[in-house]
Amino acid sequence: MVTLTAVQSKYLPYVLAVALFMQILDATILNTALPQMAQALGESPLKMQWAVISYALTLAIFIPISGFLADKYGTRRVFLTAIIIFCIGSILCAASTNLDFLIGSRIVQGIGGAMMTPVARLILVKSYPRNQLLTVMNFAVIPALIAPLVGPLLGGYIVQYASWHWIFLINIPMGVVGFMLGKKLVPALFEDTKRLDWRGFFLFAIAACGFTLAVEFGSQTGRGVYGLVLALVATVLIGAYIWHAKRRPAAIFPLSLFSIRTFRIGITGNFFTRLGISAVPFLLPLLLQVVFKYSPSQAGWLLAPIAVGAISVKPFVSKLIQRYSYRTVLVYNTFLLGVLIIVLAQFNDPTHWPWFIPILTLMGACNSMQFSAMNTITIGDLQGTETSSGNSLMAVNQQLAITFGIAFGAALLNLLRERLQIDTLTAFHITYWILGGMTILSGLYFLRLQPEDGRGLY
């Protein structure tokens, strides 16, 4: 465990807060702004998912390298470099003139993001004792929870009264603040590293891209066979990675991590739970603006209760887990999240907006509870170099779930509309029913946890 100065011990969590704030603000602004951006770029609002997927997929692919780079070259150097790359990507996004250029710019952003938030989280995991980890993590993300509150509102007003280009340019001053904080507070932590497993990296990266494209092609008329082929190829590549990892001691994702029961349960439950949850922030602004014809600013105000709920419950997360255990909290909270997603399918009139507020506030509280509990139980029992690889794999897992969740939600919506000729509102309703059902079923996996699991974390 690294020895921190008094200043570092007190203020180091703010480094993670700034990194999270930048990334979450960028994501939440983009979701609200997508319909207006689509119009400016000459695209359909319901086919803008790749502006989001490209970023999340890039994170998933490059996060494994971030752990290796942080261990080899030091956490401070890698974190500061990540902020610079993220800001360059933001400038390129603002300069985009078409969807393809925007997707490419989002990939650059994703490369920076892949080394920014995961490394900041890794710094905290390595710098504080395990019995302080849950409290420190919760403290670090409280300022970042402001981003989902500000993001939809700011994004709505920017695209309505200014230009969508500014939703990316506001990252620059925040990047400057993050760079200055990081330079002063982040310790230069190193670990003994071996040669990076490039073969495993490429097997994983191509498989992740293959699965994502398979979902997209599977929903398009005349391209279903391509989706099936890509899914089969990606499955073979995953099998090849497992074969490779069993024979390489320093695989990029060591299979030995899965011998730790809480990690195995946490990482798997994390993935399946996020599949349903992740599509909602993408689909909800589209429902409000494309179907219900709300303005971007009105949609932003209706999305704000999600952040209010997340902020409100954060101080109580540790106490609830201490009282009821990780197992109980995750099982019941996941069920409630699934029910809330299904409730969204009951809205069929724009005048029903007052009912959105309590539903979305509760959903935000459940999301906050879910992510804190899942993340902490997943990495809580890791030690030494396992911490770096486990932290990276958890972050990769989260981004893959976001990628597949958005891709699946968008593909399902387009499948219902275009191939089954279902009207747009009904297509949204069916999509929410399916996503909610998936989330409810995913919660059953947390029954594998024992009531005493995670007690050393609080």
Same domain, 182 and 202: no
Q: Look at residue 3 and tell me if it is in a domain.
A: no
27, 132: one domain: yes
Same domain, 129 and 236: no
**In this structure, what token pair is assigned to residue 169?**
């340019």
Whether 359 contacts 333, CB under 8 Å:
no
What is the C-alpha separation between 65 and 56, in angstroms, rounded? 15
Task: Give the count of domains, the chain.
Answer: 2
320/310 same-domain check: yes
Domain end point (choices 234, 251, 268): 251
In a shared domain, residues 105 and 177: yes
User: What's the pLDDT score for residue 217?
Assistant: 82
Q: What is the CATH number of the domain that holds 70?
A: 1.20.1250.20
Q: Do 203 and 151 reside in the same domain of the chain?
A: no
* In a shared domain, residues 136 and 271: yes
337 belongs to a structural domain: yes
Is 425 found in the same domain as 322?
yes
Written as six digits, the tokens of 62 are: 């490059």
Domain with 237 in it: 197-251
Residue 331's pLDDT is what? Answer: 93
Question: In the 3-class helix/strand/coil scheme, how is the chain assigned residue by residue?
Answer: CCCCCHHHHHHCHHHHHHHHHHHHHHHHHHHHHHHHHHHHHCCCHHHCCHHHHHHHHHHHHHHHHHHHHHHHHCHHHHHHHHHHHHHHHHHHHHCCCCHHHHHHHHHHHHHHHHHHHHHHHHHHHHHCCHHHHHHHHHHHHHHHCHHHHHHHHHHHHHHHHCCCCHHHHCHHHHHHHHHHHHHHHCCCCCCCCCCCCHHHHHHHHHHHHHHHHHHHHHCCCCCHHHHHHHHHHHHHHHHHHHHHHHHCCCCCCCHHHHHCHHHHHHHHHHHHHHHHHHHHHHHHHHHHHHHCCCCHHHHHHHHHHHHHHHHHHHHHHHHHHHHHHHHHHHHHHHHHHHHHHHHHCCCCCHHHHHHHHHHHHHHHHHHHHHHHHHHHHHHCCCCCHHHHHHHHHHHHHHHHHHHHHHHHHHHHHHHHHHHCCCCHHHHHHHHHHHHHHHHHHHHHHHHHCCCCCCHHHC
pLDDT at residue 358, rounded to an integer: 93
pLDDT at residue 145 in the model: 67
213 and 262, same domain (yes or no): no
Indicate the Cα dihedral angle 227, 230, 231, 236, nearest 10°: 170
Residue 18 located in a structural domain:
yes
In a domain, 2, yes or no: no
Residues 75 and 85 in one domain: yes
Is residue 320 in some structural domain? yes
d(CA 294, CA 18): 31
Predicted pLDDT of residue 19: 85
pTM: 0.86
Instruction: Judge if 234 and 372 occupy the same domain.
Output: no
Structural domain includes residue 304: yes
Domain assignment present for residue 1? The answer is no
The stretches in the chain having pLDDT less than 70 are 1-2, 134, 141-145, 219, 221, 385, 388, 456-458
76 and 153 in a single domain? The answer is: yes
**In angstroms, what CA-CA distances link 262 with 121, 211, 334, 395, 428?**
19, 26, 17, 16, 36
- Output the pLDDT for position 353: 82
pLDDT at 144: 66
Last residue of a domain, one of 251, 277, 296: 251
